Amino acid sequence: MKGKTPLLGAALVLVGLGLGATLLRDQVPLGGAQTSPGQAVPATRAQTEAGARLQNERNTMDIVRRYEPGLVFISTEQEVVRQDPMGWMFGQGAQTQVQRGVGSGFFVNEAGDILTNYHVVAGESGAGAASRITVRVMGQDVAVPARVIGLAPQYDLALIRAEKLDARFIRPIPLGDSDALGVGQKAIAMGAPFGLDFSVTEGIVSSTARQIPMGFGGAGGVGITQKAIQTDAAINPGNSGGPLLDSSGNVIGINTQIYSPSGAASGTGQSAGVGFAIPINAAKNLLPRLQNAGGDVVLAPQLGVTAGLLIQTGQGEVPVGLSVLSSTGKQDLGLPERGLVLGEVSPGSPAARAGLRGGEKAQAFRGGRIALGGDVIVAADGKPVDGLEDLQAVLINKKQGDTVTVDTMRGGQKRQVTVTLDASSFQ
């Protein structure tokens, strides 16, 4: 993941509006040669389109001029130990190498906080931050060290702050409202594709609600499928963490992933016109927690439940949804076709207070085990649930005091409960 924009694998493969010629003749002419005194020649379609292009160009250039100084070029270094497979034959031990990565970020406030992707600053193993992070701002040749303020692997977000950076170089970019986006809106991506720092591309918002796997597990959390903004503005490796702006210059998303058929085969992705950005509202909701994290990890909200269906893999037991089991087996056990089997419900948790119950007995089967007798969550806030990822996708933007409506099945009986998130949900 280091120094790259993540690729969506092949398994997940996923007009302009112009005025008509008749309407153009009815508009106020742009001016020019006159056929008779006081009468202007009607604007031609080519003249009108040229004027529109120039207006769009002026808008883009103005946004770049005002907000590109808020872009940050991020570099990371991490010492890793590599063992040469043939080295042991010659008495050589493990070798220490320095792994380097690059990415993008942007200032979000006058304090100098820089928002970026977690995978941009993550260490070689993907757990925790790289040992050395530096940032460079526009117009400066020298990079300065940066420290981690907060990490949110499940959201693929991180907050860092430059140290010893002159305050006059801190240029926050205003944050917009991603919930108000419409398909077809202008989108401007800023970043450092392939290490070419301070680059700009332009396109449109292609979709506002793509569900894609975005977060990373670890530190007690699970990766989360999130709603993402799809854009055809060129996004390439190195663009990760950079801002996606609208025509007003407001940040509407954080560039994070691309879909690249060539990358799925070669491992080196290139823009195919399908890029994804984390909606800025998700980051705005998380920002206060990141600012108060003290350099630690921030987890997505929890109900206080664990998965009760686990299968054995080469990496140990993995929680899964009911959809992986055969229909016959589920019918024999009186279970629904899809859902999250609850293994344990933590005492005093929001789930426990709402009356949710974990399995009372465990049953082993070839390749795994399942907890029976408790609740199976089949939906949350009206969205189907078939695993922890689905549940977390519903919870991801919730705040303390928010509620989630949970549909469950227990003993063949359907039930709907309301779970209220409290402070323990965010610990």
Q: Which residue shows structure tokens 């933007």?
A: 397
Strand partners for 277: 229, 255
Strand 7-8 versus strand 251-259 pairing type: parallel
For residue 153, CA distances in Å to 116, 158, 277, 394, 418 come to 11, 8, 15, 17, 28
Written as six digits, the tokens of 305 are 């439940």
For residue 58, CA distances in Å to 61, 68, 70, 234 come to 5, 15, 19, 20
Single out the residue of 147, 74, 153, 144 nearest to residue 113, CA to CA. 147
SS (H, E, C) 72-94: EEEEEEEEEEECCCCHHHHCCCC
Is residue 113 flagged as an active site residue? no
Catalytic residue among 104, 240, 260, 271: 240
Is residue 266 flagged as an active site residue? no
Which amino acid is it at 96?
T
CB 227 within 8 A of CB 313: no
CA distance 165 to 150: 19
Exposure string for 391-417, b = 16+ CB within 10 A, e = fewer: bbbbbbbbeeeeebebbbbeeeeeeeb
Angle value at C-alpha 38, between 35 and 41, nearest 5 degrees:
40
Is residue 119 flagged as an active site residue? yes
Catalytic residue among 75, 104, 156, 349: 156
Catalytic residue among 113, 119, 232, 260: 119
Give residues with Cβ within 8 angstroms of 11, minimum separation 6: none
Instruction: Give the residue numbers marked as catalytic.
Output: 119, 156, 240
